[in-house]
A and B are shown apart, each in its own frame.
Chain A
Amino acid sequence: MSYPDDLRYSKEHEWVRAEDGRATIGITSFAADELGDIVFIELPEVGATLSQFGTFGVVESVKAVSDLFAPVSGEVTEVNEVLRDAPERLNADPFGEGWIARVTLADAAELDNLMDAAAYAAETA
């Protein structure tokens, strides 16, 4: 499987798109497929402070409950409210309409703790 080249990836299967001191985060297609039909998401609150690799929310599939782990540290500036009523978008378009939150990027050096697309593809192969 291949993954978008412009993103960085965590071992916990979250992605981050960093640009101009801001970052958009979500879960990968691999994670969405592993979870199966996602039926609920507990989003972080706007203003919440995330720390890299700390939990920041929960997704639930029909069968399972899974924590979300922040791929970077930062303050939440926006959450994808649409997911509250349409959590299935996490399955349908995890790298696009299924984005979860936007955060200020507290420390760009943290991106070095993440994988590029090729490394993540190898990780999930």
Chain B
Amino acid sequence: MSQAPVGELRHTPLHALHRQLGARLVPFAGYEMPVQYSGIIEEHRTVRSAVGLFDLSHMGEIEVLGEEAVAFLRYALVSDPGALETGQAQYSMACDVDGGIIDDLIVYRRAENLFWVVCNASNRDAVVGQLTALLSRGDFGATIEDRSDHIALLAPQGPNAAALVGELTDLDLASIGNYRSAPGTVAGVDCLVARTGYTGEDGFELFSDSRRARELWAALAAAGERHGARPCGLGARDTLRLEAGMPLYGNELNRETNPFEVNLGRVVKLEKGEFVGRAALQAVQQAGPTRKLIGLQMVDNAIPRAGYEVRADGDAVGHVTSGTLSPTLGTRIAMAMVPAALAGVGNAFEVVVRERPYRAEQVKLPFYRRERDERT
């Protein structure tokens, strides 16, 4: 959040607190961030069974404002933010003219002409750069402001998240459905309360003024004691999202990959009219993607990791994009990019671990889906 010279790591407002909590801090996207506190597996299980507290204040928040904010975002992103009602949010992507993914992000409609684009910290400069360049052509009556340095993001995630946040707010959380948000106070701190997340569980993302973040965290942690809450780091966030089959930029997503290859063609609204990357993406949609992101479960006892070679019938055909021992399932799981022609649930692959091939089977994504979502 605080500006730092090149080469120095930035800190979120909770940095000192993370240290006090015994977090292991690592460099991540230019920030020094907690990768774990008590241990990744325990934190992972806390989110699946109770509620975990994440500090995600490194993420980017870009405000888009203006009479033509809708028209601008419809042009800059592959989805259709014009379809959002005020208070609604949408998973989206910014793509380049060649259809390559610049970033995946969430667009929140806060008012008729006011949107927030929440992007990955690692791509904040790229997204701001892209939006600025598109606006500079002067075709749209809209402005953007990168508010990332002034906004903190705390995320209580897990089945007890609603009970926890509900104790601290007057908002009717039942009326905030999945991918919905509302302004309100949590523990007396003004927030945008969004029912979004990256864990495969119910949960919230609370955006607040960064100067109030410590206060908000303290209130969540104190009330959280009754709900089995525990601070959780980026390590658990990674295993949680992988089980939930959610892509991570830098692993599954990059400039050389288009949305159709990663099973996210539904995000791309070709019918909405002209937008950046439309021609290239339409060509991919018509021809079908040549590669496909698949789920693998290891048959043999070896853990697949990002970058490991994937073989079919002994031939190198692709690579693992993310892999781990699944803390929830106890199985060894991976996402991998392979030729589309070879993809099919039940198909046999091998993953090369330390120069030896180990058997794997393609399985359906996601690996984990929470039990029935009772909200609409």
B-contacting residues of A (Cβ < 8 Å)? 36-37, 39-40, 42, 58, 60-63, 65, 84
B41 on interface, CB distance cutoff 8 Å: yes
B339 on interface, CB distance cutoff 8 Å: no
Which of B24, B40, B301, B305 has a CB less than 8 Å from the CB of A65?
B305
A60 contact set on B, CB distance < 8 A: 303, 325
B210 on interface, CB distance cutoff 8 Å: no
A37 contact set on B, CB distance < 8 A: 39-42
Give complex CA distance A39, B39 in Å: 12
Which of A36, A40, A42, A58 has a CB less than 8 Å from the CB of B325?
A40
In the assembled complex, 17 residue pairs joining A and B whose CB atoms fall closer than 8 Å, in A order, are A36-B24, A36-B36, A36-B39, A37-B39, A37-B40, A37-B42, A39-B41, A39-B303, A39-B325, A42-B354, A58-B354, A61-B40, A62-B40, A62-B324, A62-B327, A63-B235, A63-B324
Residue of A with least CB distance to B330 = A39
**Chain B interface residue bracket vs A:** 10 to 19
B324 contact set on A, CB distance < 8 A: 62-63
B35 on interface, CB distance cutoff 8 Å: yes
Q: Looking at A37, A39, A58, A62, which has the most chain B CB atoms within 10 Å of its CB?
A: A62
Binary flags per residue of B102-125, CB closer than 8 Å to A gives 1, else 0: 000000000000000000000000
- CB atoms of A62 and B354 under 8 A apart: no
Interface of A is mostly: strand
B327 contact set on A, CB distance < 8 A: 62
A42 contact set on B, CB distance < 8 A: 354
B354 contact set on A, CB distance < 8 A: 42, 58
B46 on interface, CB distance cutoff 8 Å: no
- CB atoms of B303 and A40 under 8 A apart: yes
- CB atoms of A62 and B325 under 8 A apart: yes
Give complex CA distance A60, B239 in Å: 15
- CB atoms of A36 and B40 under 8 A apart: yes
A58 contact set on B, CB distance < 8 A: 354
A-contacting residues of B (Cβ < 8 Å)? 24, 35-36, 39-42, 235, 238-239, 301-303, 305, 324-325, 327, 354
Give complex CA distance A115, B40 in Å: 31
Residue of A with least CB distance to B239 = A62
Give complex CA distance A84, B302 in Å: 11
Give complex CA distance A113, B34 in Å: 36
Residue of B with least CB distance to A42 = B354
Given contacts A36-B235, A39-B325, A40-B325, contact A63 B40 (CB under 8 A): yes
A84 contact set on B, CB distance < 8 A: 301
Residue of A with least CB distance to B327 = A62
Give complex CA distance A6, B291 in Å: 57
A86 to chain B, nearest CB (A): 13
Q: Looking at A37, A40, A60, A65, which has the most chain B CB atoms within 10 Å of its CB?
A: A37
Give complex CA distance A65, B320 in Å: 15
B302 contact set on A, CB distance < 8 A: 40
Give complex CA distance A42, B301 in Å: 10
B357 to chain A, nearest CB (A): 15
- CB atoms of A62 and B41 under 8 A apart: yes
B322 to chain A, nearest CB (A): 11
A1 to chain B, nearest CB (A): 14
B42 contact set on A, CB distance < 8 A: 37
Give complex CA distance A39, B325 in Å: 7
A61 contact set on B, CB distance < 8 A: 40
A65 contact set on B, CB distance < 8 A: 303, 305
Residue of B with least CB distance to A67 = B354
A32 to chain B, nearest CB (A): 11
A9 to chain B, nearest CB (A): 22
Give complex CA distance A65, B301 in Å: 15
A84 to chain B, nearest CB (A): 8
A59 to chain B, nearest CB (A): 11
A36 contact set on B, CB distance < 8 A: 24, 36, 39-40, 235
B303 to chain A, nearest CB (A): 5
A39 contact set on B, CB distance < 8 A: 41, 303, 325
